[in-house]
A and B are shown apart, each in its own frame.
Chain A
Amino acid sequence: MINLEPPKKAGALINQAYQAASQVLRPISRKYDRAEHAYPSELDMFAAVLDGLNSSGEGGAGAAGVRRDDKSEGQGNRNGGNLSTVLGTIEMCWGDVALLLSMPRQGLGNAAIASVANEEQLARFGKLWAAMAITEPDCGSDSAAITTTAVEDGDSYILNGEKIFVTSGQRADAVVVWATLDKSKGRAAIKSFVVEKGTPGFEVVRLEHKLGIRASDTAVLRFENCRVPKENLLGSPEVDTKKGFAGVMQTFDNTRPLVAAMAIGVARAALEETARILSEAGVKVDYDQPANLQHAAAAAYLELEADYEAAYLLTLESAWMADNRKPNSLQASMAKAKAGRSVVDITLKCVELAGAFGYTEESLLEKWARDSKILDIFEGTQQIQQLIVARRVLGKTSSELK
């Protein structure tokens, strides 16, 4: 039966996440935007609560990752962990997206571990706070071109290279590092390795100063003859040129809906605040009256809310497909593309609608408009998502449609 409401059983989780967002995150949102690189110690206690939520099996409120668990094969329509995680993430990012990204043990590295690690690795790394290190100074979207190397040496791999834009790279207990086993073999040779903090040869070089999500640390990491045990390689060590990139890229099908969910949360925050401000100014949005007969601000608001709604449902769709074990690459990219561009449009327009007040630091609107931009960039830029969607829709390979 076609029904596009969030599942009833997720109501408690949504409410919990909303309470946490409004009582824990919102009150410290501005503080850590100003105090870039200061550790938000308020989050420690909170993270413990999230751990509980995540281990409940119903999904949590952060980057809990997505695991296609064969045991959970069920009959009929499933609303499971993917959907719950997306719904929780939306609420938390309504509170503050940068703080959610700083949440201990909720890093994208955790999502990668949860998604592709074997049972033994899951037991070893499951409790760690793991960051994700993919991007390099000379390769961003083109992640197949990474130059960090991993060379087999006895029971270890030796890593060499530099990684940038590593979220929580300083605070996390470990980093999931993408490196190539053999540059000549292309994508198939790219593997991910868990490198624990304190491993000799692993160094945090510096932290970035950023446009937004300033509460979230973004680190530059260097690996110099960094020796990592063989068992820390996630997935298969075989260089299977037929299977290619699938192993590592699979992570993205799972993390993109989460980033889309982050965008939804920020967009909702901006829309709600703008509705309040407009209402105080005597402008109310009417859903029945034609938009062209309403105040221009109300008409603009309707347009933003429509984009929000489309992005929201695309995000739920991609998570629901994962829950129901349907391939969701296309939908995940659609959701990420739509949510990423919409959150930027929405938050920037909301600043404009709120006028000078929205532009000052007295309002969080200006902060959300700065935070939003990264959501259209990381985990695959707008253009990368369009490329993925276009290839799928047109039936083109990456060598045909570059």
Chain B
Amino acid sequence: MGVGLAALTKLAGSKTLDRAGLRAPVQNLVSSATKNGFRAAGAASRSFKSARRGGQATRPAAPSDKGLFDLTPNEEQQMIAETVAEFAAEQLRPAAAEADAKLAPPDGLLTRAAELGVTQIGIPEELGGASTERSVVTSALIAEALAHGDLGLAVAVLAPSAVSNALVLWGDAQQQADYLPAFTGENVPVAALALQEAKPLFDPFKPAARARRTPSGYQLDGVKSLVPRAAQAELFIVSATLEGRGPALFLVESSTAGLTVEAEPAMGLRGAATGKLHLEGVKLPAESLLGGGSPDVFTDAVRLSRLGWAALATGTAKAVLDYVIPYVNERTAFGEPISHRQAVAFSVADIAIELEGMRLVTLRAAARAEQGKPYAREVALARKLATDKGMRIGSAGVQLLGGHGFTKEHPVERWYRDLRAIGIAEGVVLL
């Protein structure tokens, strides 16, 4: 409760809330967010069912490889990245502090993101989306641009895409027909890919959540952790160990009996309104198994999620760099800008060097994934760099601002908290 109360105290003094006439709705949100330990039923989900459909699922084609080293985004990618960067600067960055404090993204943010078409990018035209071929690189550029605005809100915005991308990649014709139309419309459902569990030394390939076979399908039991917007999500993809088979992914609608959610505020990613997902005797139809329970599908899901987190880390690390440069140039000590001291300047140089390195490694992994080449190694290395260097950059960001960096007057303390999620997080995003 302490955390929530502190947030409440800060909010209570906020004049902007009164001006915007937002005080009452915000108070409601805060009260639900602070009810830590209070478990509620999942959000009422819309009806996702479509008519029976046979035939083949639709998969995006791999782009053709020109065989040349190239770091120039194509025109479309350039345009998308710029548009999303603008969106992040206008919609995410200004809303980030408040979202962090009240543990929820601002009203309407996800609708505006849907209007922008963030979710549609990964869905092929044949399925009502906007893509003509598999484009992991474009998705990485989007994640990077969003996370430059705010990591927590970027996660909130991208969470539905993780589910729609998984359906595009591994859903059968029926699953695609049932669920994807909702993701290409204007009212994109809140959805979440829940792989994480709150267990020390957690191995995503060995979820403690269990799936038992029943005569009509499966029964799921377990608890998933750090699920973005768990309370609002209408659709989950949940990992569980399928008895006798190993880890598998299941489509779970939020109104299914036995599913409850609980607020789970964390060190960071608070704008993503993270929650616990409790599954107690949740009965699922046989059609809820995604990708036929294939181990390869599961491995891909873990890798493509980690890739997403690496891309997010590059965006937030860039935000740190862009923030500290003017600060150290303007802040004076001993009669000159502190950037004239090597101790300060070299710290900034190291941020720039490590950021560029981790960005290139992430892009290489994305390009290989997109072209259908082996990418396990590259993802692992991108994740390692995003974890280690990302956190070091987050820490340097606070350090360079000194005591000021420790206060909420500057965003660096939030980036510090957010960047600690990299390397812990599994699932949630999927490129």
Contacts and interface: CB of A to CB of B under 8 A. Distances in A.
Interface of A: 1-9, 77, 79, 83, 287-293, 302-303, 305-307, 309-311, 313-314, 316-317, 320, 331, 334, 337-338, 383, 386-387, 389-391, 393-396, 400-402
B350 interface: yes
B380 A2 contact: no
A41 B325 CA distance: 52
Given A3-B70, A79-B68, A290-B202, A317 B352 contact: no
A313 B360 contact: yes
Interface string B294-308: 000001001100000
A5 B377 CA distance: 14
A-B pairs with the 5 shortest C-beta distances? A310-B357, A8-B67, A4-B364, A313-B360, A287-B380
Interface stretch (B42-50, B102-110, B339-347): B339-347
Interface string B362-404: 0110111001010011111110110010000000000000000
Contacts of A390: 339, 342, 345-346, 348-349
A1 B203 contact: no
Contacts of A77: 66, 68, 70, 72
Contacts of B356: 314, 317, 331, 334
Contacts of A314: 353, 356-357, 360
B353 A389 contact: yes
A82 B198 CA distance: 49
Nearest to A324: B72
A401 B340 CA distance: 5
Contact of A288 (B63, B69, B376): B376
B331 to A, nearest CB: 12
Interface in B134-159: 137
Given A293-B201, A309-B361, A313-B357, 8 more contacts: A4-B364, A5-B367, A302-B384, A313-B360, A320-B70, A334-B357, A386-B349, A401-B339
A2 B353 contact: no
A288 B77 CA distance: 29
B319 interface: no
A275 B38 CA distance: 50
A288 B205 contact: yes
A400 B321 CA distance: 20
B71 interface: yes
Interface of B: 63, 65-74, 77, 137, 201-205, 299, 302-303, 321, 325, 328-329, 337, 339-340, 342, 345-346, 348-350, 352-354, 356-358, 360-361, 363-364, 366-368, 371, 373, 376-382, 384-385, 388
Contacts of B384: 291, 302-303, 305-306
B357 A7 contact: no
Contacts of B65: 1, 3, 5
A2 B368 CA distance: 10
Contact of A306 (B299, B345, B352, B361): B361
Contacts of B368: 5
Q: Which of A313, A391, A400 has the most CB of B within 10 A?
A: A313
B300 to A, nearest CB: 10
A338 B73 CA distance: 24
A144 to B, nearest CB: 18
Contacts of A394: 325, 328-329, 339, 345, 348
B360 A3 contact: no
A393 B356 CA distance: 12
A90 B138 CA distance: 30
Contacts of B367: 2-5
A191 to B, nearest CB: 30
Contacts of B340: 396, 400-402
A169 B361 CA distance: 38
25 contacts: A1-B70, A2-B74, A4-B363, A4-B364, A5-B67, A8-B68, A79-B68, A287-B376, A290-B203, A306-B382, A307-B357, A307-B385, A309-B361, A313-B364, A314-B360, A316-B69, A317-B356, A334-B356, A338-B357, A387-B349, A390-B349, A391-B345, A393-B325, A394-B339, A394-B348
A305 to B, nearest CB: 6
Given A4-B71, A401-B339, A338 B353 contact: yes
Contacts of A287: 376-377, 379-380
Contacts of A290: 201-204
B69 A6 contact: yes
A305 B381 CA distance: 7
Given A2-B137, A7-B67, A386-B346, A393 B352 contact: yes
Nearest to B352: A393
Contacts of B361: 306, 309-310, 313
Nearest to A395: B329
A2 B377 contact: no
Nearest to A389: B349
- Most chain A CB atoms below 10 A, which of B201, B203, B364, B371: B364
A153 to B, nearest CB: 42
A332 B328 CA distance: 24
Contacts of A401: 339-340, 342, 345
A133 B321 CA distance: 37
A310 B378 CA distance: 10
A79 B69 contact: yes
A391 B69 CA distance: 28
Contacts of B363: 2, 4
B350 to A, nearest CB: 7
B194 to A, nearest CB: 17
A331 B205 CA distance: 38
Contacts of A310: 354, 357-358, 360-361, 381, 385
A22 B358 CA distance: 30
Contact of B63 (A1, A331, A337, A395): A1
A320 B71 contact: yes
B169 to A, nearest CB: 17
A391 B358 CA distance: 21
A311 B69 CA distance: 16
B345 A288 contact: no
Contacts of B321: 393
Contacts of B354: 310, 338
Contacts of B353: 314, 334, 337-338, 386, 389
A395 B349 CA distance: 12
A288 B352 contact: no
A187 to B, nearest CB: 20
A4 B63 contact: no
Contacts of B358: 310
Contact of A83 (B67, B69, B73, B339): B69
A293 B357 contact: no
A349 B388 CA distance: 17
B328 to A, nearest CB: 7
A288 B357 contact: no
A306 B385 contact: yes
Nearest to A11: B67
A98 to B, nearest CB: 27
B122 to A, nearest CB: 16
A289 to B, nearest CB: 7
A1 B74 CA distance: 5
B79 to A, nearest CB: 14
A290 B302 CA distance: 11
Nearest to A337: B353
Contacts of B68: 3, 7-8, 77, 79
